[in-house]
Structure 1
Amino acid sequence: MIVCHPHRLIYLKTRKVAGTSFEIALSGACGPECIITQISPRDEETRQALGLPGPQNHTAVRNGSLVRFYNHMPAAEVRAALPAEVWEGYRKIAIVRNPFDAAISLHYWHGGHRKGVPFDRFVAESSELEDTLRIAPLDGPDRIDRHLRYEALADELAAIGLSSVAERFDGIRTKAGRRPATGASVHEIYRKFPQAADIVADRCRAEIAAFGYARPGDGASRELD
């Protein structure tokens, strides 16, 4: 996650949304006082090669206690760790992705296909399926200001004045390649595992409703073929 003071922005990092690539891109907009959390050594090499700021200011003392900012830190913890004027005065953003699509990426990321874990079993058992709204809630005291759609990220970033970050992001792709280019589209996977669609629809119903994501097989979901 990142706290970018020049843009008065708090970025909360959700899962399987090209979040590390975006984090690297956003770090280019940060100054020496900004909070930038650690990513993997390999991804840090990418950031360093681009000449962008690396991890900094990710530990602090608040009310006499040491706090640590970290990858995929939930909004509730970020809110507790930051000064109230920063949490309340900065725009809080996160990236959201169609849960039916994100679940497939999670399955491949964890090697479920190599380990012989069927996709429907994976989505039934994964503790990460509901992480998006745990990290970046829709409502309550920890709610964030804007969820940016993964499927139209360049437009979403332009709408909030971050076109330069979008341009930098276009040239960065970390952690790509785990999901096959063929045979792993949303419709192919859910045709093979139809019960998985019911599980994802139930477990992720709040974000599906909030962002109007379509169930696989619906006409509105053809863009994910």
Structure 2
Amino acid sequence: MIICHSRKFIFVKTKKTAGTTVEIALSRACTEGDIVTDLAERREPRFADEPANALSMQKNLFDIDKGGKKQQFGFKEHSNIAHPYMMFGERVADYKIITVERNPWEKIISQFFYLKKSRLEDSAEFTKFVEGGEFVTDFVLYGVRGIPFYDYCIRQEHLTEDLEQVRRELDLPDSVAIGDITTKTTERPKEASRRRDMYGDTARRIVECAFLPELHHTGYSFDAVDCPPIQPSPLRIPARKAFAAHTAKRVKDWTITARQP
């Protein structure tokens, strides 16, 4: 997650969507006082000069006193959109929200091979994985009460062009670009290159049901090769205002103190 106070945007990082690549690119717009969560990939030598390395070392820890009940909180790589509202309230109410999505059926294949980290031995193994419901969905990270909060949803299939649109419209530095950023290598073997080769009817329907909110708002489908640009929900702004007001009531008795790095 990124909470960029200096540029007034929040990046909600989803899973198996090239989110790490986008996070590194967007972090180049950040400066001292902004929040960039720690990321193992940035500790590698090729990212040694990335400014996000120094920013993430701030640890972004908060002490919370809930009427005498004390605890610590720190933003995580895949924190959901509720957390910035809880920590910063009205300060982030007008921040633009950015996330990344991907065809759900492709995402599940990617998750499967990421966890398996080996070649596909039997197509029934993938079907068992899907039927077991061990995969994760991301709507809960950027959506509240059925409404996606994002202003920009970058398509994994169009990273470069969609990120460039975000950069231009938010007037971010030219360095916010995919360029030569390469992060995790894929574990997906050649025999899984076509989603039709992976899915039977049952597995296909299971994924469709699990990702109904994403499919409704993005326009992805099983058969489509591509997805049109993803439009933000017209309900997002009133929904965010209502959620911010709800969150304010919830935390009104809290004392939140940022820890010094």
**TM-score interval, normalised by the smaller of the two chains:** 0.7 to 0.9
Output the amino acid matched with 1:27. S
Q: Deviations over 1:3-40 (max 9, x none)?
A: 11232111111000111122122221110111011112
- Determine whether 1:100 maps to 2:108: no
**Secondary structure, counterpart of 2:52 in structure 1:** coil
Q: Deviation at 1:48? A: 3.7
Q: Look up the match of 1:119.
A: 126
Q: Is the 8 A contact 2:119 2:189 kept in 1?
A: no
Which residue does the alignment assign to 1:189? 198
Contact 2:99–2:153 (8 Å) recurs in 1: yes
Indicate yes or no: 2:24 matched with 1:14.
no
Q: How far, CA to CA, are the matches of 1:163 and 1:97 in structure 2?
A: 25
- Equivalent of 1:222, from 206, 221, 225? 225
Q: Whole-Å Cα distance in 2 between the matches of residues 74 and 150 of structure 1?
A: 19
Distance 1:142-1:155 versus aligned 2 partners, 3 A rule: closer
Q: Say whether 1:164 aligns with 2:174.
A: yes
Quick one: percent identity of the two aligned structures?
Answer: 28
The amino acid of 1:37's aligned partner reads: T
SS state of the match for residue 63, structure 2? strand
- Aligned mates of 2:85, 2:211 — CA distance in 1: 24
| Post-superposition offset of 1:189 | 1.8
Deviations 1:157-178 (A, max 9, x none): 23332583552x2311211231
Matched, 1:78 2:84: yes
* Pairs aligned (count): 214
Is the CA contact (8 Å cut-off) linking 1:112 and 1:119 kept in structure 2? no
Between the aligned partners of 1:125 and 1:201, the Cα distance in structure 2 is 15
Distance 1:158 1:210 in 2: 22
Matched AA of 1:136: Y
Q: Secondary structure at the match of 1:152?
A: helix
The one-letter amino acid paired with 1:33 is G
Decide whether aligned partners of structure 1 residues 141 and 18 sit closer, same or farther in structure 2, where only a CA change above 3 A counts.
closer
Unpaired segments ≥5 residues, structure 1: none
Q: Over alpha carbons, which structure has the higher Rg?
A: 2
**Higher mean C-alpha displacement, 147-156 vs 170-179:** 147-156
Measured after TM superposition, the shift of residue 127 of structure 1 is 4.2
What pairs up with 1:32-111 in 2 under 5 angstroms?
32-40=32-40, 42-46=41-45, 48-54=47-53, 55=56, 56-62=58-64, 65-80=71-86, 82-111=87-116
- Aligned residue in 2 for 1:211: 218
Structure 2 CA distance, aligned partners of 1:207 and 1:194? 20
TM-score, with length taken from structure 2: 0.71
Instruction: Give the Cα separation in 2 of the matches to 1:84 and 1:14.
Output: 23
Which digits, 9 at most, give the CA deviation of each residue in 1:59-111, with x for residues without a partner?
Answer: 1235575321001111223322x211233121111111110111110001101
The letter for the 2-side match of 1:44 is R
Matching residue of 1:2: 2
Letter in 1 for 2:32: P
Question: Structure 1: how far apart are the matches of 2:158 and 2:131?
Answer: 28
Output the CA distance in 1 between the equivalents of 2:46 and 2:25.
Answer: 8
- Cα deviation for residue 209 of structure 1 reads 1.8
Give the distance between the partners of 1:194 and 1:106, measured in 2 at CA.
19
CA separation of 1:22 and 1:28: change in aligned 2, threshold 3 A? same
* Larger RCO (alpha carbons 8 Å, 6+ apart): 2
C-alpha distance 138-163 of structure 1, shift in aligned 2 (>3 A): farther
TM-score in terms of structure 1 length? 0.81
Q: Which residue of 1 aligns with 2:30?
A: 30
Matched-pair contact (CA < 8 Å) for 2:146–2:213: no
Output the CA distance in 2 between the equivalents of 1:48 and 1:37.
Answer: 15
Per the alignment, do residues 210 and 174 of structure 1 end up closer, same or farther by CA in structure 2, a change over 3 Å counting?
same
Structure 2 unaligned regions, length at least 5: 228-261
What SS does structure 1 have at the residue aligned with 2:162?
helix
